[in-house]
Structure 1
């Protein structure tokens, strides 16, 4: 198995789902892709794909080989990158998706600082509370809250101990008081947000080994987390937000965290997600460290 390009074409064909799509992606002819796969199958002595006139799917042996092949290519790419980049200036394009609130209020200045330190780095940023599709959209990295739904993704912890918190402005609390039980939340104007077709109006809490949920209502609902935070700061109601999203407001007193008799939200970690290990270039690794430093500094200010 001397041709590494055969391995790359195999992985790309599996991801694209057809010879023609792989050929377009790699800017070669379908005949070259077909010959490469036949050569690889002959070298291995197994059938990797089941082909028909319209469909192409991996065999069981093909699926098994694909996992090992991706790992092997990732290790090789990482080694090659390290050899050629030890003394080089960071460069390249960071294609990143992030939640709207964190993106606008925390990430933008962090990106500016990173790009000022590394002027040959470019950034293409997508902000949305709906998760980006790392396979179909022009995004290599995503900052996401919660555990990755795709177990095949690589998840790098950025804020592993982040939690959702209840918060409101001092003016709201002065006017309406602060709830002391979960049930009292139903008596308050709660600011609900969500994404896609989901609006989170049931808030779930944990305490020791117990769990409880409360159905909340309010006169303001939005699927943009930044708007929800701004409503809370303006005194319009109680919000349930990621602590990292409101940490600057908590530090500067624009919002106050509401604690209800030991009830708390489940851990809501922030991870940097990518689909393949080869994406973790020296530039991405440096950006990851930059994120970790800034997040750690913020949480230290709140202590």
Structure 2
């Protein structure tokens, strides 16, 4: 059975480049560290280090195993910390950056209830469609749309099944007609917005295993996605938005899904943080509350569209 202390010594030896340095750090003898690494290699049935009298370097297998070892140790530490959770952990300032529309209209009530339940938490919210840099901006966590491939930070899914949908007001569609194909969208005024100072001038859709893009020549353009949604409610045209952003408008007949049988591109929502150790008990509880709230919203997508089997 793999010992956690062996995994820890493996990680430190890899980072420090020396068994002796790892031993000094852990107040052990170099021979004890060497024995721990041999034991781990035996348990894994693979060689993790290439050793010589002058150097120590990871093998290809060691390089491959290192990120998993870090994740294993982090998960065990997080589990131990969760057992020590108390109300004392729910205090201090929490700084959150999130998109303007979903933040204001969907997430805010949950976050407000969280603060009501934990009065020792103070909160700073940053609502913007500008994508925050969690390493440079003064935020603890960020809530962000999109598929995340950056391994420099840690992400917890909030709404992994969310998608974008085409919507317009029922009054607009009654007057101007309901599009029957993606190409028909181009004959209607499109409502667009900028994201991170970039004009989203192409709307992407999965079609027959490929991606079809519609070039958007927007008559109305804004730097706040919430404004585009409001324009759609006012009958100014068609907008392509996250289902989370427009779900309540669709349910209350302020907006109608256009081309309900056409799947929109995926738009998963995630909570991200620079490092796993920053996922405090308070942040984990908030994540759980948000995830539960958003799950009910994403489940409603199947009721208003015909592509439930596709996502």
Does 2:116 match 1:145? no
Unaligned runs of 5+ in 2: 31-56, 304-311
SS in 1 for 2:165: strand
- 1:195 and 1:223 in contact (8 A); partners too: yes
The more displaced of 246-255 and 206-215 is 206-215
Question: Is the alpha carbon distance of 1:87 and 1:210 closer, same or farther for their aligned partners in structure 2, counting shifts above 3 Å?
Answer: closer
What is the 5 A alignment of 1:1-303? Answer: 43=24, 74=74, 78=78, 81-86=81-86, 88=88, 90-259=90-259, 262-300=261-299, 303=303
Aligned-pair distance for 1:68? 8.7
Question: Is the alpha carbon distance of 1:222 and 1:40 closer, same or farther for their aligned partners in structure 2, counting shifts above 3 Å?
Answer: farther
Aligned-pair distance for 1:72? 8.2
TM-score, normalized by length of structure 2? 0.72
Deviations 1:114-165 (A, max 9, x none): 1111212222111111211111111121111111241232111111110010
Taking the aligned partners of 1:40 and 1:139, their CA distance within structure 2 comes to 35
Aligned-pair distance for 1:87? 6.7
Aligned-pair distance for 1:264? 2.1
TM-score, normalized by length of structure 1? 0.73
- 2:162 and 2:298 in contact (8 A); partners too: no
Matched residue count: 257
CA RMSD of aligned residues (A): 3.3
Question: Is the alpha carbon distance of 1:78 and 1:236 closer, same or farther for their aligned partners in structure 2, counting shifts above 3 Å?
Answer: same
Taking the aligned partners of 1:142 and 1:75, their CA distance within structure 2 comes to 21
- 1:156 and 1:271 in contact (8 A); partners too: yes
SS in 2 for 1:187: coil
Question: Is the alpha carbon distance of 1:40 and 1:123 closer, same or farther for their aligned partners in structure 2, counting shifts above 3 Å?
Answer: farther
Aligned-pair distance for 1:216? 2.1
- 2:131 and 2:196 in contact (8 A); partners too: no
Unaligned runs of 5+ in 1: 12-38, 46-59
